[in-house]
Structure 1
Amino acid sequence: MCEFVLTPEIASRRRQLKVGESPWGPEDEIGRLNLITDESRAKVMNSIDHTRSFDLTVDYFIGMPSWTAAGDPPYQIWMTHTPTGNENDDLMAATQEGKELISYSGDAISMYTHCGTHIDTFNHFGYRGEIWNGFNEKEHLGSRHWNKCGPEKFPHIVARAVMLDVAAAKGVDMLPDSYAIGAADLQETMARQGVLIEQGDIVMIRTGRMTVWPDRDKYTNNSPGLNVEGAEFLASMGAMIIGADNIALEHAPSAEEHNYFPVHTYLFSEVGIPILELLWLEDLAREEIYEMGFIGRAMPLKGATGAPIQPIVFPMKK
């Protein structure tokens, strides 16, 4: 596969409030994830320190902060089988002695697909019934899920990642409520850390919001985060995926009256950039690790608007 180079015109596409046409063709469902190739994966794997790794996921537990503002369900887990219950119920073709011998436990979970550390797909948000690359509700939405742009289409993600600790650049543990991170903030942070963003990078933004995890109100309400200007800047630099440690990447509440998620709609619908949310970046920040190899796989929930992902990162070799 030949390496695809984003032209300056494509990379710096400004927001137009209409869905973008993919440079990878009319059937493309994964946007800038097309930048991942066997060669790019090999380059990353050959550049990392395999002796050290960091897990960027949060634990799933009852009461964890999650997106419930629009009435979406929180994380729930319940036992479907317990050792004593299995002894008392006649649910299996097993002898009573066998049920007493084998202490059987089982459980089930229920959650919004945007709960915990996860990756958003392009069918999550669009404009006027259309999503990335002109796919639309009338032709491509089934009765249970989208038939286009689901996480099952995403490749194994192996890429260079850059962590931008904006909170540290501002000299604080956590950015103020509703702080909007723009291009100047990102440039200041890059200069402080001595890092550059390259085509195909994953950019992870630390707001410091995880310092109040898992307090639901402090974590979810009026979150600091990226604004449209900052998103346009990172897109123009060639970012492949953009993520953050807060509830929804962008700052809240929205600065726009009629678009409550302007960063989401721009990144998904116009430039084909997926989003990572609820990243645990505190360990990286503590050790001042800013460049790393990122390895992750979205749970292949066919047609879903998002999926859990467990990113593991390895520092670059010195």
Structure 2
Amino acid sequence: MSKISNYRQLKITALLLAGALFAPLLAADTGTEVGKSPWGPEDERGRLNLMTRESQFRILSRISSGKVYDLSVEYYIGMPGVHIAGDPPYRIWMTHTPRGNQIADPMDMGEAMNEHISYSGSAISMYTHSGTHIDALNHFGLNGKIWNGFSADQYQGDRGWTAAGAESIPPIVARGVMIDIATAKNLPQLPDNYRITESDLKEALKQQQMTLEEGDVVLVRTGRMQNYDNAAVYQENYPGLTLGAAKFLAEDAEAMIIGADNIAPEAFPSEVEGNYIPVHTYLLAQQGVPILEVVNMEALARDKVYEFAFIGGSLKLRGADAGPMRPIAIPVD
């Protein structure tokens, strides 16, 4: 499932000629094969194998304060999402209310007990790619296969994938780096449909006096999160990475996870002919790099915190292609 919330733009081919913000020409899709893991034929974690006890201890030992930044968003009815593509929006409803329990007495507790004990319960339903979440490696593939050659014919059933699903994602403890593109360009947020290039990433890192290291969780800030409470604005025409920028982070910088503050980390319409979502297929299916989406970096940007201990655990949803996550960032010295 694509996270393209601006599907209608795919029909407006004139955007491809709209100038510097858009790719002037469509490149041919040469990435037709999924990646094979250097960690063996059974590997379902991809780049997450770069995380070790040593790397975790190394970043935790550098924590310099007790200040904690919450990188997640709230879930509520009307929140941004990709239900525009047919996926269900977030819903919450009460399954028990104090007054309802008095009237229905569903557990046969009796009137006196139900008057004494006020019981509330609720249930939710949502698409797994709602709110702050991590894409598992089975989310996108190529030609019927996902990362490491697992095929849908063999590994996908009625209850989801039996390989490379959300349940295979371990708790994440790693060095985190925010690349604040919006601030680097002296903008509150990037323009609609802005395509972030490798040069943009390098310039922002230079301004921040930061370098990337193998195994980093790299989070790219566009400033789009400022519109989160206005779903129509937040999820339309958002800026994102070019394929070249994604390749720089994955291959040159050797990032473990790549994320952004919008609904998808890549710009649309696609710059690659024959592939409508090239950054997703490149990162997930070819490089084994999980993707973080809808990450709230506004407080980090406000305080100019560019390096931190990233800590997050996603829900272990067996067979699912994403897991909701509540990550935190703790500054390091």
Which bracket does the TM-score occupy, shorter chain normalised? over 0.9
How far the C-alpha of 1:32 sits from its partner, in A, is: 0.5
The answer to whether the 8 Å contact 2:105/2:111 transfers is no
How far the C-alpha of 1:253 sits from its partner, in A, is: 2.7
**1:53 paired residue among 57, 68, 80:** 68
In the alignment, does 2:176 pair up with 1:161? Answer: yes
CA distance in 2, matches of 1:258, 1:308: 30
Taking the TM superposition and a 5 Å limit, the aligned residue runs for 1:73-88 are 73-88=88-103
Q: Where does residue 70 of structure 1 map in the other structure?
A: 85
Taking the TM superposition and a 5 Å limit, the aligned residue runs for 1:83-98 are 83-98=98-113
**2:255 paired residue among 239, 243, 252:** 239
The answer to whether the 8 Å contact 2:105/2:114 transfers is no
**1:109 paired residue among 124, 149, 152:** 124
Percent identical pairs in the alignment equals: 52
How far the C-alpha of 1:198 sits from its partner, in A, is: 0.3
Q: Where does residue 302 of structure 1 map in the other structure?
A: 318
In the alignment, does 2:224 pair up with 1:212? Answer: no
Q: Where does residue 271 of structure 2 map in the other structure?
A: 255
CA distance in 2, matches of 1:158, 1:173: 30
In the alignment, structure 2 segments of 5+ residues that lack a partner are: 1-28
CA distance in 1, matches of 2:59, 2:84: 38
Residue 44 of structure 1 aligns with an amino acid whose one-letter code is I
In the alignment, does 2:35 pair up with 1:20? Answer: yes
Q: Where does residue 205 of structure 2 map in the other structure?
A: 190
CA distance in 2, matches of 1:44, 1:152: 24
Give the secondary-structure state (helix, strand or coil) at the position aligned to 2:301: helix
Taking the TM superposition and a 5 Å limit, the aligned residue runs for 1:165-180 are 165-180=180-195
**After TM superposition, where is structure 1 displaced by more than 4 Å over at least 4 residues in a row?**
none
When normalised by structure 1's length, the TM-score is 0.93
CA distance in 2, matches of 1:116, 1:48: 27
In the alignment, structure 1 segments of 5+ residues that lack a partner are: 1-13
When normalised by structure 2's length, the TM-score is 0.89
The answer to whether the 8 Å contact 2:177/2:219 transfers is yes
CA distance in 2, matches of 1:52, 1:84: 41
Give the secondary-structure state (helix, strand or coil) at the position aligned to 2:109: coil
Give the secondary-structure state (helix, strand or coil) at the position aligned to 1:231: helix
Give the secondary-structure state (helix, strand or coil) at the position aligned to 2:320: coil
Q: Where does residue 284 of structure 1 map in the other structure?
A: 300
Give the secondary-structure state (helix, strand or coil) at the position aligned to 1:184: helix
The answer to whether the 8 Å contact 1:178/1:252 transfers is yes
CA distance in 2, matches of 1:162, 1:105: 41
Q: Where does residue 14 of structure 2 map in the other structure?
A: none
CA distance in 2, matches of 1:199, 1:26: 22
Q: Which 10-residue stretch deviates more, 43-52 or 103-112?
A: 43-52
The answer to whether the 8 Å contact 1:118/1:308 transfers is yes
In the alignment, does 2:313 pair up with 1:315? Answer: no
How far the C-alpha of 1:151 sits from its partner, in A, is: 1.7
Give the secondary-structure state (helix, strand or coil) at the position aligned to 1:41: helix
CA distance in 1, matches of 2:159, 2:294: 26
Residue 268 of structure 1 aligns with an amino acid whose one-letter code is L
CA RMSD of aligned residues (A): 1.2
The answer to whether the 8 Å contact 1:241/1:274 transfers is yes
- Residues 196-223 of structure 1: CA deviation (Å, up to 9, x unaligned): 0100001000000011121111100111
The answer to whether the 8 Å contact 2:36/2:147 transfers is yes
- Residues 146-191 of structure 1: CA deviation (Å, up to 9, x unaligned): 0001121112210001000001111101101111111011011111
Give the secondary-structure state (helix, strand or coil) at the position aligned to 2:244: helix
Aligned residue pairs total: 304
The answer to whether the 8 Å contact 1:299/1:307 transfers is yes
Residue 79 of structure 2 aligns with an amino acid whose one-letter code is M
In the alignment, does 2:186 pair up with 1:142? Answer: no
The answer to whether the 8 Å contact 1:15/1:232 transfers is no
